[in-house]
């Protein structure tokens, strides 16, 4: 039996732009990570820890915790 693939979408870039066009550097400074890490997350090259994910949601003022599942 073939396994189903689960697609999880990364919406960090869209969320940044929806928050007054926040730059990658501004988000990195708020979360406490490097800008290169933000780039890697947006390009699906790095999967952040749950702590970084939650901090990211808080930093971009997402009240809806479901955003974490897609960031």
**pLDDT over 50 at 68, yes or no:** no
Which domain CATH number covers 24?
A: 1.10.260
Instruction: Classify residue 5: in a domain, yes or no.
Output: no
Which pLDDT score is estimated for 71?
Answer: 45
Range of the domain at 38: 12-65
SS3 string of the chain?
CCCCCCCCCCCHHHHHHHCCCCCHHHHHHHHCCCHHHHHHHHCCCCCCCHHHHHHHHHHCCCCCCHHHHHC
What does the pLDDT look like over 18-65, one tens digit per residue? Answer: 888 889 999 888 888 899 999 998 888 887 776 677 666 666 665 444
């Amino acid at each position: 039996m073939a396994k189903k693939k689960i697609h999880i979408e990364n919406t960090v870039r869209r969320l940044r732009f929806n928050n007054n066009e926040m730059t990658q550097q501004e988000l990195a400074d708020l979360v406490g990570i490097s800008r290169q890490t933000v780039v890697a997350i947006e390009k699906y090259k790095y999967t952040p820890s749950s702590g970084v994910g939650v901090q990211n949601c808080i930093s971009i003022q997402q009240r809806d915790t479901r955003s974490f599942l897609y960031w």
